[in-house]
Structure 1
Amino acid sequence: MAFKKPYSPENSRKSDIVPLKDGIKALLKAYRLQGKLNEVVVVASWEKVMGKAVAMKTQEVYVSNGKLFVRLTSAPLKHELFMAKTRVLEIINAEVGEEVIKEVVFL
């Protein structure tokens, strides 16, 4: 006579258990959404990265084809940020954790 192994919840389907973080990453990769998500993170973190003073003079921020477009309401600020374009690019990509933005365009 063969006895069944007693049911224990910790043994059942243990190999199928995946951490939520890994599951979400797999879904983003499968549906090729990671790039778009990174672009959204860039736009959403503009105020955090650049500060409240810059954010108040920012009219519009959007990403298209790896370029970050920023429309500003202040010409002196636009000039100042244009001169620090490389640094702005580094800060933005560092916030996301990978190179999402290849160029910054101030409008």
Structure 2
Amino acid sequence: MAKRNNEHISIQDALKEFVETNRLEKGLNKVNVADAWVKLMGNGVNNYTTTVNLERDTLYVQLSSSVLREELSYGKQKIIDLLNEELGKNIIKKLVLR
């Protein structure tokens, strides 16, 4: 049976402890990165985005338009910086556009 704490803690702290105890942070990061991509890139880019996948510290983005892929490749570092800023931590170190 799980141990009980008699002290009162906030829900935020309880959820953070739950995520750390069950090692769920990597999975949550994958979901958060995909959501941040959708939010920051807007409809124009999202219409041509087929998959967004985070593996370790590399973000792989599959695009259906070669022209858009070429345009985004010029601003890779800016995209990485924007996504990391949106996430509040440095998760992404490299961006691969396919």
> How does the TM-score come out when normalised to structure 1?
0.81
The amino acid that maps onto 2:15 is I
Q: After the TM superposition, which segments of 4 or more aligned residues of structure 1 sit over 2 Å from their partners?
A: none
For the pair 1:17 / 2:19, whether they are aligned, the reply is no
The within-5 A match list for 1:9-88 is 16-88=7-79
1:36 deviates by 2.5
Instruction: Could you tell me which runs of 5 or more consecutive residues in structure 1 were left unpaired when the two chains were aligned.
Output: 1-14
C-alpha distance in structure 2 between counterparts of 1:35 and 1:59, whole Å: 21
Listed one character per residue, the Cα deviations across residues 53-86 of structure 1 (whole Å, up to 9, x for unaligned) are 0000111111112111001111111011111000
SS at match of 1:59: strand
In structure 2, give the amino acid aligned to 1:80: E
Q: What percent identity do the matched residue pairs reach? A: 31
Distance 2:69 2:82 in 1: 17
Does residue 93 of structure 1 match 2:61?
A: no
5+ residue gaps in structure 2?
Answer: 1-5
Counterpart secondary structure, 2:96: strand
SS for the counterpart of 1:16 is coil
- Give distance in 1, aligned partners of 2:10 and 2:49: 39
Query: What is the RMSD of the two structures over their aligned residues, measured on CA atoms?
Result: 1.2
Distance in 1, Cα, partners of 2:25 & 2:46? 25
